[in-house]
Structure 1
Amino acid sequence: MNAPVPTPQADDPAPSPRRIPAVERLVGGASAAELETYGRTAFTDAIRAVLAEIRAGGGPVPDTESIRAAASARLAAERRPSLRPVFNLTGTVLHTNLGRALLPRSAAEAVAAVMVQASNLEFDLETGARGERDDHVEALICRLTGAEAAVVVNNNAAAVLLVLNALAMRKEVVVSRGELVEIGGSFRVPDVMVRAGCRLREVGTTNRTHLRDYAEALGPRTGLVMKVHPSNYAIAGFTAVADPVALHALCRERGVPLADDLGSGSLVDLAAYGLPPEPTIRAALERADVVTFSGDKLLGAVQCGIVAGRKDLIARVRKNPLKRALRVDKMTYAALEAVLRLYLHPERLRVELPTLRLLTRDRDSIAAQADSIREGLAKLDFEPEVILTSFHGVPRSYLLKGDPYHCQCHKTGRLIREALGLSPEKMRVTFQSALVLTPASAGSRGAGGRCRRLAEELRRLPVPVIGRISDEAVRLDLRTLEDEAGFLDSLAALPPVAGGGRTPRRTP
């Protein structure tokens, strides 16, 4: 982003090309700090760019210090990293657009250690021969999941693509119609089948697929049966799915591998932490031959995809040429290994793993934090209101990508609805940690515009603050806020608004 050209005072003399200072003079008058910071060549180029804009503008010529300042501002803007830290106050703990899982300190330190010097990425220190990079995490994955073998690729979509291509190229892949999903970025299961060189064989209907549907589809052309976890939607009402144990037995009888794409993939029973239960990888491998899952969702590690399962099938996956194209680097292995080791100490997992720590924050700590920081919002022309409502459970869509304020609970929805006597349409939950900023003149025609302007100002802060706009209010969800001091420091850069300083409200 280019810095604005300095505007001279109104009483400056009329512009003249001869009055524009020479480049050498402007660069020669620069401070030693400027030249040391940006380099003489870059500073000279920036001066030329500013002068070109002055000539094109046709207005008065600014003084030399203003021109140098404009050049420095231009260079500072260019040096600002494109990928920057932000405060994710959207309410979505694992937000795809905001980087998903936060790494624990041990993982960050492990990554830093292998970034700055050589490592044994593909070198066996015992034999001195070439090693296999998956060896750094494979034993840990197998220990935690019960798998016989495992490989790592760059994300779960790649894991699915690799499994399909390695196990069912030029063959049919049997999938229930109710599981032909589309996830973010228009990633559709049927399209992936085509790219993997497989032929899709749909069975059942959208809402009901029986074991007999799979049995009738299996034949000499079948390369794989695939289950796809419906992570972002639910089919309720008159539904039926084949019993997974019976389906696995059928596949073994017919000699066809069964793959289960779990998507997020949890290594622990989330119900033990007061969260809705999710199928664990270990449980999935008891009724499937191969399981694919993500490393940066519920597992809480770095972006990657993991394929775990039978040793003979994983060997075919590892030998596939696509494996090299989809492999991950040393930083990914270092971070993943560090996170997996946390799972060996389950008593400390809730404290050490940021994803689990944030998902299980208690109401009292969030309320105390809200009371602490709302005073920092006093200069805004908005009424800060703390919303701490009770709720029946955290839906899976909330954990990953759903609306954090009004979410449709699905995965465990049937059990919860039965317990509460609620219909699917009424099973809505309100999350409990929103700091709602409502314009002082709420309900006026300009309230929506003022919310959008505030959201823009929050995004321009030294460390941008990302929230949500809903019901003519800016909502900042505090569940994911751990650096309270840093948040307040960044918030201090907001320009004061006349008429601010209103007394905050709190809704118990």
Structure 2
Amino acid sequence: MENKTSSLLRQLPAVHDCLAHLAAADGVSELPIGRLKHCVRLYLDTTRRNILEGKLSQDGALNRESFLDELVRYVHSYHKPRFTRVINGTGVIVHTNLGRSLLPDSALRNIVGAASHYSNLELNLATGKRGSRYSHVEDLLCELSGAEGALVVNNNAAGVLIALETMGKGREVIVSRGQLVEIGGSFRIPDIMARSGAKLVEVGTTNRTHERDYENAITEETALLLKVHCSNYKVIGFTREVEAPELVAIGRKHHLPVMEDLGSGCLLDLSRFGLAKEPTVQEVVASGIDIVSFSGDKLLGGPQAGIIVGSKEYIEKIKKNPINRALRIDKFTLSSLESVLRLYLDESQAIEHVPTLRMIAMDADAIKIRVDRLCRRCQEAFADRATIEARAVSSQVGGGALPEQNLASWAVALLPRQMKLSQVEQALRFATVPVMGRVEDERLIIDLRTVSEGEEEDLFASIGEALSA
């Protein structure tokens, strides 16, 4: 065994032989020599390790010609950009792993403008002096939400952190035990509160919290009453929670500010599309809540951002917090957020042009027309390789919002004839344009609710690649 291992190791080409082969190979010969050397060493190291671990043990396993051809493919794959476009066929509209919300065309144009030209990011054009970057969106946010002041940081977790650090550091913050949520990425309210320096005071039980629980917990050390909207789970049955107006009344009685973390805050009532009623930002502000935080890239359909609106007195305090500098948004977030917010000035424009809202509002019959068209093409081209049919399915909003809320949709359902379902699913992820679907009822499901108009051609090509893998 040891002699065979040594023999295989001796068959490995030298680095200079590998480089000579790559120098004549299409698509890699123009790469920097440093990158080629790096790839060759990685590939040789991997092959040596496979030999030593017994994964390559047969004579002829290291045929020189096939080894060098595999090396070319390895370099192609290694040099491809890691961050790439993916077709979302999962049916989850706000898919955290796939980048959450898509941006409208107007936002894309603004981002290109911000990237390719100088801008008035922190310049007041009227005075010619330094201005505030927040001024570009603060008035819009106040107009849309009804709040007195607004601030934007880099995500909602940062918004909650800076608000708690500003209002409650070294003092007590009261929150219902049933609202101590954890969302994706291990964001936990108790952990954020600990980092902020605030002291957590839990009241009530997991399923029931009353006004008296808050009243009994308030002391001279209390700084803030916190309400957390449980957007990513539901407690049903024998439940009770203190609603915003009731909590505001307690806050006013004891001269305490009240904050609500809305999570996936939205500016439109989505119940018109058959979803459960969720509180809008405007409704929460109107209830008297002093500080409201929510995400910019979930139900709002904008870029990643944490938006804080509310009483001018408290917003100004948060703005002056030194950690605001570490959490501030850049010019790309700012330019795209302004564009998205402007669409909300006309609800019909927002529904038509904000992709997240458009996908939520999309009629299932319209989706079926697209699915039928794609199925016919796939059946004509790939009938010998797979059974392909239209199937009624359910889509989800996702992004930690509206749990258990489904939208009727249609999908391409694919059952391979020769390959395993797992092999097709993997091959789609490795296609020239990767595709993410889901496995359901022993079929690969590609839900077209989340496949953008104009992506069908690339989706058809990727399905062909996968079935030929």
TM-score, normalised by the number of residues in structure 2: 0.85
Aligned position for 1:352: 353
Helix, strand or coil at the partner of 2:445: strand
Contact 2:103 2:301 in 1 (8 A): yes
List aligned pairs for 1:133-152, cutoff 5 A: 133-152=133-152
CA distance in 1, matches of 2:41, 2:96: 41
Q: More deviation in 101-110 or 470-479?
A: 470-479
Partner Cα separation in structure 2 for residue 123 and residue 325 of structure 1: 20
Range that drifts further, 53-62 or 162-171: 53-62
Q: What is the identity, as a one-letter code, of the residue corresponding to 1:400?
A: G
The answer to whether residue 194 in structure 2 is matched with residue 194 in structure 1 is yes
CA-to-aligned-CA distance 1:478-497 (integer Å, 9 cap, x gap): 11112212211222222449
Question: Deviations along 1:157-201, whole A, 9 cap, x unmatched?
Answer: 111111110101111111111111111122211111111111111
1:388 is the counterpart of 2:358: no
Paired amino acid for 2:64? P
Distance 1:479 1:464, change over 3 A: same
5+ residue gaps, structure 2, are: 1-7, 52-58
User: 1:282 matched to which residue of 2?
Assistant: 282
User: Equivalent of 2:413, from 436, 458, 464?
Assistant: 436
Map of 2:432 onto structure 1: 462
Deviation of 1:132 (Å): 1.5
Equivalence for 1:316: 317
Q: CA deviation at 1:257?
A: 0.5
Q: Distance in 1 between matches of 2:277 and 2:18?
A: 69
Summarize deviations over 1:130-180 as a string: whole Å, max 9, x none: 221211211111111111111111111111111110101111111111111
Find 1:26's aligned residue among 12, 20, 26: 20
Q: Does 1:39 align with 2:35?
A: no
Counterparts of 1:238-253 in structure 2, within 5 Å, are 238-253=238-253
| 3-state SS in 2 of match to 1:141 | helix
Shift of 1:306: 0.6
1:88-99 maps to which residues of 2 (within 5 A)? 88-99=88-99
Counterpart CA distance in 2 for 1:140 and 1:55 is 61
For residues 109 and 130 of structure 1, the distance between their equivalents in structure 2, rounded to whole angstroms, comes to 25
Partner of 2:256: 256
CA distance in 2, matches of 1:328, 1:276: 32
Partners in 1 of 2:40 and 2:236 — Cα distance? 64
Q: CA deviation at 1:370?
A: 1.2
Separation in 2, partners of 1:28, 1:194: 54
Contact 2:15 2:40 in 1 (8 A): no
Deviations 1:302-330 (A, max 9, x none): 11101111111011111112211111211
C-alpha separation in 1, matches of 2:327 and 2:230:
24
Corresponding position: 1:408 with 2:404? yes
The 1:280/1:62 distance shift into structure 2, 3 A limit, reads: same
Give the Cα separation in 2 of the matches to 1:19 and 1:313.
68
RMSD: 3.2
- 2:398 counterpart letter in structure 1: L
Is the Cα–Cα contact under 8 Å of residues 43 and 71 in structure 1 kept in the other structure?
A: no
Q: Identify which range, 245-254 or 280-289, moves more after superposition.
A: 245-254
Question: Higher strand proportion, which one?
Answer: 2
- CA gap of 1:241–1:21, structure 2 versus 1, over 3 A, is closer
Instruction: Report how far residue 338 of structure 1 moved.
Output: 0.9
Q: Give, in whole Å, the separation in 2 of the partners of 1:343 and 1:382.
A: 44
1:198-256, CA deviations, whole angstroms, 9 ceiling, x for partnerless residues?
Answer: 11111122211111221222221111001100111111111122242132122122110
Contact 2:244 2:284 in 1 (8 A): no
SS of equivalent to 2:64: coil
- Assess if the C-alpha contact under 8 Å between 1:211 and 1:243 holds in 2: no
SS at match of 1:321: coil
Gaps of at least 5 residues in structure 1 are 1-13, 410-428, 442-448, 498-508
1:44 and 1:263, CA in 2 relative to 1: closer, same or farther beyond 3 A?
Answer: closer
3-state DSSP class of the match of 2:466?
coil
Once the two structures are overlaid, the 10-residue window that deviates more, 239-248 or 455-464, is 239-248
Q: Name the amino acid aligned to 2:154.
A: N
User: Residue 290 of structure 1: CA displacement?
Assistant: 0.6
- 1:478 matched to which residue of 2? 448
Range moving further from structure 2, 346-355 or 226-235 = 346-355
* Correspondence for 2:335: 334
Where do 1:44-63 residues align within 5 Å? 46=39, 62=64
Q: Is the 8 A contact 2:174 2:226 kept in 1?
A: yes
One-letter code aligned to 1:485: E
Offset at residue 43 of structure 1 (A): 4.2
Q: Distance in 1 between matches of 2:15 and 2:391?
A: 59
C-alpha distance in 2 between matches for 1:19 and 1:87: 39
> How far apart, CA to CA, are the structure 2 residues paired with 1:342 and 1:488?
33
* CA 1:258–1:471: 2 relative to 1, 3 Å: same
Question: Do the aligned partners of residues 473 and 118 (structure 1) sit closer, same or farther apart at CA in structure 2, a change above 3 Å counting?
Answer: same
Q: TM-score, normalised by structure 1?
A: 0.79
Q: 1:72 to 1:122 in 2, by over 3 A?
A: farther
Are 2:387 and 2:416, in contact at CA under 8 Å, matched by a contact in 1?
Answer: yes
TM-superposed deviation, 1:401 = 4.6
**Partner residue, 1:421:** none
**For each residue in 1:458-499, what CA deviation from the matched residue of structure 2 results, as whole angstroms up to 9, or x when unmatched?**
1111111111123322222111112212211222222449xx
| Pair 181,191 (structure 1): closer, same or farther in 2 beyond 3 Å | same
Secondary structure of the residue that 2:328 maps to in structure 1?
coil
Inter-CA distance 48–470: structure 2 relative to 1 (3 Å threshold): closer
Closer/same/farther in 2, CA of residues 480 and 402 from structure 1, 3 Å limit: same
